[in-house]
Amino acid sequence: MRFKPLSSYENNVQTKVGLSFLSERVVFRGKDLHFELKDYDWFKFFLFGITGKEFTRQELEVLGFIWLSTSYPDARIWCNRIAALAGSARTTITLGLSASMAVTEAELYGVKPTKCAIDFLIRANKQVKKGISIDRLVDNELSSRGMIYGYGRPLVREDERIPHVIKYANERGFGKGEHLKLALEIEQCLISLKNVGMNIAAVYAGLAADMGFDANEFHRFCTLLVFGGMPPCFIEQEEKPPGSFLPIRCSSIIYQGPNKRRW
């Protein structure tokens, strides 16, 4: 990608996504925000903002269930733990949830695996269409990257979300797309090869790829993927005594560092 020199951006904002003309109107991706978009619900509006595309009711339902199906109100989960600690520490909910959101950009859970999973499935689907076998593309991916995002799960093997999401997608006509079908075929290959099954990221990625998302668009969509489970964790701890979330007494800490110094 070639960029114009920085001097061309000096003292001006060049935009295609929108602009506010105060006291007059607001343009949002070429549409009048308060007139043409007034009947959009927030979810449809969010998707229009990140993709510039219109989605059908069935697509919106499946994409909404993707968010819902992985929003667990469990304070033991990594990002939710931060929300709970923030509530226990009596910070504001905005600060607490912002910190929780930041750690969803992780290597083994959250947002990054979903982006990597859709990137792999899109590349893999193109290779299969060129005649490359699934066994070979799996071997190539493992050889070059050491792992395949969307397969394997920390702590437990089975992913309880998968049957629910696939059933929901099937009921709305999205269970037979080529990327989702390929994701399931790759799972069978990995089970026979390494006894590694699919996790939900591969299902989400397959469905999104079949709707036309690219990797960057899906990454942006997944920014709020697990957000729904965070506010309850914050609120519950905010209603309990300060500092009561997973406290550790000093006598329980095994210290093995330098001895106390004399001053």
151-163: per-residue pLDDT in tens?
A: 998 777 889 999 9
The two structure tokens encoding residue 127: 């290779």
With contact defined as beta carbons under 8 Å apart, do 66 and 43 qualify?
A: no
What number of other Cβ atoms are within 10 A of residue 145's Cβ?
A: 11
Distance, in Å, from the CA atom of 238 to the CA atom of 83, rounded to the nearest integer, reads 10
What does the pLDDT look like over 21-69, one tens digit per residue?
A: 999 999 999 999 999 999 999 999 999 999 999 999 999 999 999 999 9
Is 98 among the domain residues? no
DSSP-assigned states of every residue in 25-74: EEEETTEETTTTSTT--HHHHHHHHHH-----HHHHHHHHHHHHHT----
- Report if residue 62 sits inside a domain: no
Residue 9 has pLDDT above 90, yes or no: no
Beta partners for 53?
none
CA 210 to chain centre: 17
Q: CA–CA separation, 190 vs 133, rounded Å?
A: 13
When the pLDDT of each residue in the chain is averaged and rounded to a whole number, the result is: 95
Q: Coil, strand or helix: which one is 132?
A: coil
What number is the average pLDDT over the span 67-82?
96
Q: Is residue 147 part of a domain?
A: yes
Last residue of a domain, one of 207, 222, 237: 222
Kindly report the CATH number assigned to the domain that includes residue 160: 1.10.230.10
Which residues form the domain of 43?
A: 15-54
Mean pLDDT of 100-113: 89
Do the Cβ atoms of 237 and 87 come closer than 8 Å? Answer: yes
Instruction: Specify if 180 maps to a domain.
Output: yes
Of 153, 166, 149, 263, residue with least CA distance to 210? 166
Per the domain annotation, does 237 fall within a domain?
no
The answer on 118 and 184 residing in a single domain is yes
3-state secondary structure of 61: helix
């397969």: which residue's tokens?
A: 151
Residue 105 within a domain:
no
Closest to 186 (Cα-Cα) out of 139, 233, 244: 139
Q: Looking at residue 158, what is its pLDDT? A: 87
Q: Which residue has the tokens 């226990």?
A: 88
Answer whether 0.75 is exceeded by the pTM: yes
Residue 109: per-residue pLDDT = 82
Say how many domains are in the chain.
2
Query: Does a structural domain hold residue 40?
Result: yes
Shared domain for 218 and 124, answered yes or no, is yes
d(C-alpha 211, C-alpha 179), whole Å: 10
The residue among 249, 226, 240, 15 whose CA lies nearest residue 105 is 226
